């Protein structure tokens, strides 16, 4: 069996024209014709037939199309798997995370993980909702979410990310402001960038500044960009604030309000060594990130 004949047949089936097939495959029309005839001889069936100046697929040819496609897919997947074996990848973990985790945690964590566990490959998917359900249904191996799972069909563990602090624009005119209340009165408050702590936080803010203007912005990255543009303030995890001198943002020490604590939840279902390794290393990573700012 020559897989080149299968490739040629699928291109001929797409165009039903030897000349167009030859142009796409960068071979002569004679070669295209010979490939089809060789394949028909191998299979013992007629795949195409002449219809005037054109060619059309026979009923057998139409039936054979998905078979040829599947044959090629199996071949290419086998080649991919063998290349991975040569690269010493023994396991691939499918990870599902929120956009926030993808933006701020994985870029720091994955290089450390790959350095320590080169035999484990990682594929990541972003999903804003229903991560626990996706894990329970076996779509992914590990989920990393910012809200507590509401199902008992999976395992999960909460990991403290570190403290949350009021983050404001770092501009000269703000140097005369010394308390959270003064910032609440000057700026709109960009809220709801965390799925759990903002309702309580808004109540606390409203008690000391009843006229506070809250604007719901779910994206942490968008919130940070608006703060840099002097368009608002918010409460953000301290550990994402690396390079504050260049960030156009600064942190305000708490005086009026006790900031909340943010948690990340590791979620998994299967009890596999690779999953245990990932979870352990991720938990260690979070702990070290907290140490940097405590």
Average pLDDT for residues 155-162, to the nearest whole number? 82
Q: Which DSSP state fits 255?
A: S
Q: Count up the domains in the chain and report the number.
A: 3
Whole-angstrom CA distances from 252 to 50, 95, 159, 193, 198 are 79, 35, 24, 18, 18
Residue 104 sits in the same domain as residue 250: no
Residue 178 sits in the same domain as residue 249: yes
Domain of 45, CATH number, reads 1.10.10.10
Residue 199 sits in the same domain as residue 275: no
Average pLDDT for residues 283-289, to the nearest whole number? 85
Residue 60 sits in the same domain as residue 132: no
Residue 75 sits in the same domain as residue 110: no
Q: Are 251 and 165 in contact (CB under 8 A)?
A: yes
Q: What is the DSSP string of 7-55?
A: HHHHHHHHH--HHHHHHHHTS-HHHHHHHHHHHHHHHTS--EEEETTEE
Where in the sequence is the domain holding 151, given as residue range(s)?
91-159+264-293
Question: What radius of gyration, in Å, describes the C-alpha atoms of the chain?
Answer: 29
Residue 13 sits in the same domain as residue 132: no
Residue 208 sits in the same domain as residue 247: yes
Residue 61 sits in the same domain as residue 128: no
- pLDDT at residue 110 is higher than 80: yes
Which of 26, 59, 86 corresponds to the end of one domain? 86
Q: Are 293 and 163 in contact (CB under 8 A)?
A: yes
Q: How many CB atoms lie within 10 A of CB 276?
A: 12
- pLDDT at residue 241 is higher than 80: no
Residue 268 sits in the same domain as residue 155: yes
Which pLDDT does position 270 carry in this prediction?
Answer: 87
Which of 71, 86, 101 corresponds to the end of one domain? 86
Average pLDDT for residues 41-58, to the nearest whole number? 90
232-243: buried (b, 16+ CB within 10 Å) or exposed (e) per residue?
bbbbbbbbbbee
Residue 276 sits in the same domain as residue 133: yes
Nearest to 226 by CA among 192, 256, 200, 188: 188
Domain of 278, CATH number, reads 3.40.190.10
Residue 282 sits in the same domain as residue 142: yes
Residue 256 sits in the same domain as residue 281: no
Whole-angstrom CA distances from 39 to 10, 18, 34, 128 are 12, 15, 8, 49
- pLDDT at residue 233 is higher than 90: yes
19-55: buried (b, 16+ CB within 10 Å) or exposed (e) per residue?
eebbeebebeeebbbebbeebbeeeeeebbeeeeeeb
């Amino acid at each position: 069996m020559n897989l080149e004949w299968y490739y040629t047949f699928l291109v001929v089936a797409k165009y039903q024209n030897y000349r167009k097939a030859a142009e796409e495959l960068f071979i002569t029309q004679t070669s295209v014709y010979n490939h089809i005839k060789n394949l028909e001889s191998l299979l013992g069936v007629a795949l195409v037939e002449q219809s005037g100046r054109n060619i059309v697929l026979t009923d057998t040819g139409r039936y054979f199309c998905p078979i040829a496609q599947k044959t090629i897919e199996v071949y290419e997947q086998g080649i991919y798997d063998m290349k991975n074996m040569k690269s010493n990848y023994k396991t691939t973990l499918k990870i599902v995370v929120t956009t926030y985790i993808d933006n701020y945690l994985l870029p720091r964590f994955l290089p450390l993980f790959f350095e320590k566990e080169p035999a484990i490959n990682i594929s990541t998917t972003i999903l804003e909702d229903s991560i626990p359900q996706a894990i329970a249904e076996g779509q992914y191996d590990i989920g990393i979410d910012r809200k507590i799972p509401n199902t008992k069909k999976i395992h999960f563990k909460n990991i403290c990310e570190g403290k949350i602090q009021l983050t404001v624009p770092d501009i000269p005119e703000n140097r005369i402001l010394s308390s959270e209340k003064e910032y609440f009165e000057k700026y709109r408050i960009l809220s709801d960038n965390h799925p759990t702590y903002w309702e309580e936080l808004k109540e606390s803010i409203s008690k000391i500044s009843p006229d506070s203007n809250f604007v719901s912005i779910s994206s942490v990255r968008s919130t940070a960009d608006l703060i840099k543009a002097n368009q608002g303030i918010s409460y953000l995890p301290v550990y994402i604030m690396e390079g504050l001198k260049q960030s156009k943002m600064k942190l305000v020490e708490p005086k009026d309000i006790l900031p909340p604590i943010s948690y990340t939840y590791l979620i998994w279902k299967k009890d596999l060594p690779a999953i245990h390794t990932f979870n352990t290393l991720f938990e260690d990573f979070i702990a070290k990130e907290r140490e940097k700012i405590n």
